[in-house]
């Protein structure tokens, strides 16, 4: 009755959150006095999961699963859970996993708690802490169902090394029947650039930047920091930046280590989506901007003067600390 964890990969490599969910699964297994088994789909380096406390990896290799398909992946995880007799299944909170987890929950007739930010409060009863009301509160939620699916928030638990040796076993789930309800036609994804979901640092611009022609400095700052770029909602509504960059309550959530908000007022709906970030920096010309109440560090000043100077200084800092 091990704890099962889904470790996501892309192009054969584990995603950043894979080690986080593995670490979380190890902690749950420790509390339950059992072991943690990972399911990896088309990943090449599965044995490495042993570094994060995983004692067994079920390795699925199948061309049909090359492109993510929520329903088919949920069926794979269901079969893995049944094979292992797992009652607790740990998943991440990536966009893909939030797509498949409810399907998996329904297939297993279990209970699902997403947005979990800490190791379980208790195992019996099984209680976890999760964010609610767009990060304005926490709920302590008890899972009453026999099967429990836990979605761990990005960057909340962290990756914790717990060296053990993982045995890697190949697993061939049945992919029969109508479990590919949707067909992927094309994927349009920025490659080689940090994404908002995975980035340690996010540099975000608001309406204060006046127009899309001024985004060069946001991109340059992001490049210096190895950061992803983001924006406030009006910026994407105005078409200055793509929808996928809009963060906040109706956009993407950000749970980075560092969030830099430039020319963003800090409206409550914006803060809702970024408050899970660890350290927030605001650059704004208006000292009364609400973001100054929510941030850790702030600069009152004109973005058009502050940002270029900051870029120069950071470049120098980077070469000195290289």
Ligand X SMILES: Cc1cc2nc3c(=O)[nH]c(=O)nc-3n(C[C@H](O)[C@H](O)[C@H](O)COP(=O)(O)OP(=O)(O)OC[C@H]3O[C@@H](n4cnc5c(N)ncnc54)[C@H](O)[C@@H]3O)c2cc1C
Nearer to ligand X, 75 or 270 (CB): 270
Query: Considering the complex, what minimum distance in angstroms separates the CB of residue 117 from other proteins?
Result: 10
270 binds ligand X per the rule CB under 6 A: yes
Among 110, 248, 253, 298, binds ligand X (CB under 6 A): 248
Q: Which residues contact 75 (CB under 8 A, 6 or more apart)?
A: 107, 173, 175, 179
H/E segment holding residue 229: strand 228-231
Tokens 């199948």 correspond to 62
Query: Considering the complex, what minimum distance in angstroms separates the CB of residue 37 from other proteins?
Result: 23
| DSSP result, 46-100 | GGGGGGBT--EEEEE--GGGSS--HHHHHHHHHHHHHHHT-SEEEE--SHHHHHH
Q: Which residues contact 209 (CB under 8 A, 6 or more apart)?
A: 215, 218, 235, 240, 262, 263, 303
Query: Considering the complex, what minimum distance in angstroms separates the CB of residue 266 from other proteins?
Result: 11
Query: Considering the complex, what minimum distance in angstroms separates the CB of residue 232 from ligand X?
Result: 3
Q: Nearest Cα to 126, choosing from 31, 36, 37?
A: 31
User: For residue 2, what are the CA distances in angstroms to 30, 51, 60, 243?
Assistant: 10, 17, 18, 40
Contact partner at residue 206 from other proteins, ligand X, none, CB < 5 to 8 Å by partner kind:
ligand X
Nearer to other proteins, 126 or 215 (CB): 126
Cis omega (within 30 of 0) on the bond before 149? no
CB atoms under 10 Å from CB of 98, counted, come to 15
Nearer to other proteins, 52 or 291 (CB): 291
Nearer to other proteins, 1 or 106 (CB): 106
How many residues of this chain bind ligand X (CB under 6 A)? Answer: 25
134 binds ligand X per the rule CB under 6 A: no
Nearer to ligand X, 197 or 264 (CB): 264
Among 41, 202, 203, 289, binds ligand X (CB under 6 A): 289
304 binds ligand X per the rule CB under 6 A: yes
Among 284, 295, 298, 310, binds ligand X (CB under 6 A): 284
Nearer to other proteins, 136 or 165 (CB): 136
Q: Which two tokens stand for residue 84?
A: 């292992």
Contact partner at residue 208 from other proteins, ligand X, none, CB < 5 to 8 Å by partner kind:
ligand X
Among 45, 146, 169, 286, binds ligand X (CB under 6 A): 286
> Which parts of 185-214 interact with ligand X (CB under 6 A)?
206-208
| DSSP result, 100-119 | HHHHHHHHHT-EEEEEE-SS
Q: Which residues bind ligand X (CB under 6 A)?
A: 206-208, 232-235, 248-251, 263-265, 267, 269-270, 273, 284-286, 289, 302-304
């Amino acid at each position: 009755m091990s704890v099962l964890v889904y470790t996501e990969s892309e192009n054969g490599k584990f995603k950043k959150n894979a080690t986080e969910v593995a670490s979380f699964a190890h902690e749950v297994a420790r509390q339950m006095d059992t072991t943690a088994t990972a399911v990896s789909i088309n990943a090449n380096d599965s044995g490495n999961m042993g570094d994060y406390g995983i004692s067994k990896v079920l390795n699925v290799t199948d061309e049909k699963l090359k492109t993510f398909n929520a329903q088919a992946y949920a069926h794979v995880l269901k079969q893995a859970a049944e094979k292992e007799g797992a009652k607790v299944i740990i998943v991440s909170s990536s966009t893909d996993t939030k797509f498949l987890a409810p399907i998996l929950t329904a297939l297993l007739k279990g209970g699902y708690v997403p947005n979990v930010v800490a190791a379980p409060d208790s195992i019996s009863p099984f209680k976890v802490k999760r964010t609610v009301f767009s990060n304005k509160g926490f709920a302590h939620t008890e899972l009453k169902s026999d099967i429990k699916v836990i979605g761990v928030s990005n960057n909340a638990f962290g990756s914790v090394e717990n060296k053990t040796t993982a045995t890697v076993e190949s697993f061939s789930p049945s992919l029969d029947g109508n479990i590919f309800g949707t067909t992927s036609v094309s994927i349009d994804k920025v490659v080689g650039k940090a994404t908002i979901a995975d980035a340690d640092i996010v540099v975000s611009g608001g309406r204060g930047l006046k127009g899309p022609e001024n985004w060069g400095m946001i991109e340059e700052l992001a490049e210096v920091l190895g950061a992803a770029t983001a924006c406030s909602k009006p910026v994407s509504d105005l078409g200055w930046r793509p929808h996928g960059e809009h963060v906040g309550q109706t956009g993407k959530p950000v749970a980075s280590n560092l969030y830099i908000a430039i020319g963003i007022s800090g409206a409550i709906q914006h803060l809702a989506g970024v408050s899970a970030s660890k350290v927030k920096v605001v650059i704004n010309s208006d000292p009364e901007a609400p973001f100054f109440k929510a941030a850790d560090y702030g600069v009152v000043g004109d973005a058009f003067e502050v940002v270029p100077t900051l870029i120069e200084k950071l470049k120098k800092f980077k070469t000195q600390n290289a």
